[in-house]
């Protein structure tokens, strides 16, 4: 049994005519007829009923034809994979990002990636860490941008950059008069925290954990920033969220914390993902896009910083 015989079989089932099926493949009718007959003999079953009025698949033939279509689809996918490997910097790349990063990095990342790999199309998705983890495992996403800590079996994780976590407050707040904020200054302040679904909340609390009575919970960064602006409290935010063009210094001000806390952003992808050149292009585009809010410039060069031995 060969793939050619299976292709003849499926085409004959579609055309229901030996001559038309042979014409589609550019072969003679006897050649196609002999191939189908050979397949029937090898399988030991009759695939088609032949009569003067035409041909039709037998009950067993219909089942075998359906299976042949699945086999051919799998074979074609192998060819697609091989073709994609020849030009890894074309086609679609599905990238996920956590909610607290996507709005500030992705608008700069997309045009930067166009300059590096103009035939690579980026499809972006935002979600929680747990959601991104699942979609990466099920191949719904090719790569994800997440904050550390993050570990997952059979997934390569590479730190891309670090960004400062800063205290954010309205301009008329008493702490705005200070150049650097000590953690002792934060006691008895009303703190705005993100919901527990957001991984940034864990990083906020790791820097300073306010008492429950002094805490207000918000579902998003935008809501949190608006609440700070009207004087409902203060918070700790990453510099990407405070360096954004939509961040108004007239409504909010930032101050560095004495402990110099940072958020670590990493790019993660399946170890089995074959398009490592596309991953490298995204990494370099992120480096170009994130320089204004990072504290650890990446080592220059186009090669991946992680040695993935599974490639």
Please check whether residues 79 and 98 belong to one and the same domain.
Answer: no
**Considering its fold, how many domains does the chain have in total?**
2
Helices 3-15 + 59-86 axis angle, to 10: 120
Question: Do 73 and 102 have their domain in common?
Answer: no
C-alpha to C-alpha distance for 150 and 129, rounded to whole angstroms: 9
pLDDT in tens, 76-133: 878 777 766 667 888 889 999 998 888 888 888 899 999 988 888 889 999 998 899 9
Q: What confidence tens digit (pLDDT) does each residue in 213-255 have?
A: 788 888 888 888 889 988 999 998 888 888 765 555 667 889 9
**Alpha-carbon distance 25 to 180, whole Å?**
76
Same-domain pairing of 211 and 118: yes
**Do residues 148 and 171 both lie within one domain?**
yes
Q: What is the CATH number of the domain that holds 53?
A: 1.10.10.10
Average pLDDT over residues 175-188: 90
pLDDT at 99: 87
- Please determine, for residue 205, whether its predicted confidence score (pLDDT) is greater than 80: yes
In percent, the amount of the chain with pLDDT more than 90 equals 37
Spatial distance between the Cα atoms of 221 and 140, rounded to a whole number of angstroms: 26
Domain of residue 302, residue span: 89-311
- Based on the domain organization, do 125 and 186 belong to the same domain? yes
Task: Examine the fold and report which residue of 65, 86, 107 is the final residue of a domain before the chain moves on.
Answer: 86
Residue 73: pLDDT band with limits 50, 70, 90: confident
Per-residue confidence (pLDDT) for residue 303, from 0 to 100: 37
* Domain match, 82 and 229 both: no
Residue at which a domain ends, from 62, 86, 110: 86
Same domain, 75 and 97: no
Percent of the chain exceeding pLDDT 70 equals 90
Asked if residue 220 and residue 131 are part of one domain, the reply reads yes
The answer on 116 and 24 residing in a single domain is: no
**Which of 36, 61, 86 is at the close of a domain?**
86
Measured CA to CA, the distance from residue 92 to residue 122 in angstroms comes to 6
190 and 80 co-located in one domain: no
Domain of 197, CATH number, reads: 3.40.190.290
Q: Are residues 130 and 255 in the same domain?
A: yes
The predicted pLDDT at position 309 comes to 34
pLDDT digits (tens, 9 = 90+) for 38-52: 999 999 999 999 887
Sign of CA dihedral 57, 62, 64, 67: positive
Opening angle at CA 202, ends 197 and 207, nearest 5: 155
DSSP character string of 152-195? -TTEEEEEEEEEEEEEEE-TTSGGGG-SSB-GGGGTT--EEEE-
301 and 158 part of one domain: yes
Confidence band of 260 (pLDDT split at 50, 70, 90): very high
Choice among 20-29, 57-66, 246-255, 265-274 with the minimum mean pLDDT? 246-255
């Amino acid at each position: 049994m060969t793939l050619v015989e299976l292709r003849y079989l499926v085409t004959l089932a579609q055309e229901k005519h030996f001559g038309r099926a042979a014409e589609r493949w550019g072969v003679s009718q006897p050649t196609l007829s002999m191939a189908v007959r050979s397949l029937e003999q090898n399988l030991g079953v009759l695939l088609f009923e032949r009569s003067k009025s035409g041909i039709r698949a037998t009950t067993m033939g219909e089942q075998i034809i359906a299976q042949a279509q699945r086999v051919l689809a799998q074979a074609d996918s192998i060819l697609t994979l091989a073709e994609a490997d020849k030009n890894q910097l074309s086609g679609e790349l599905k990238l996920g990002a956590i909610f607290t990063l996507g709005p500030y990095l992705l608008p700069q990342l997309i045009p930067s990636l166009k300059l590096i790999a103009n035939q690579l199309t980026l499809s972006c998705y935002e979600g929680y860490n747990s959601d991104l983890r699942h979609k990466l495992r099920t191949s719904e996403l090719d790569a994800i941008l997440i904050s550390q800590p993050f570990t997952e079996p059979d997934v390569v994780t590479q730190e891309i950059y670090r960004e400062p976590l800063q205290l954010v407050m309205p301009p008329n707040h008493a702490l705005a008069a200070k150049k650097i904020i000590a953690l002792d200054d934060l006691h008895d302040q009303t703190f705005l925290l993100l919901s527990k679904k957001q991984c940034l909340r864990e990083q906020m609390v790791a820097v300073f954990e306010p008492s429950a009575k002094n805490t207000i919970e918000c579902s998003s960064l935008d809501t949190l920033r608006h609440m700070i602006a009207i004087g409902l409290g203060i918070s700790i935010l990453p510099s990407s969220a405070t360096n954004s063009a939509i961040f108004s210094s007239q409504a909010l001000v930032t101050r560095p914390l004495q402990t110099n806390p940072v958020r670590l952003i990493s790019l993660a992808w399946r170890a089995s993902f074959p398009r490592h050149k596309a991953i490298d292009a995204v990494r370099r585009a992120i480096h170009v896009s994130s320089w204004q809010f990072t504290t650890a410039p990446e080592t220059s060069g186009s090669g991946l910083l992680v040695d993935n031995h599974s490639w």
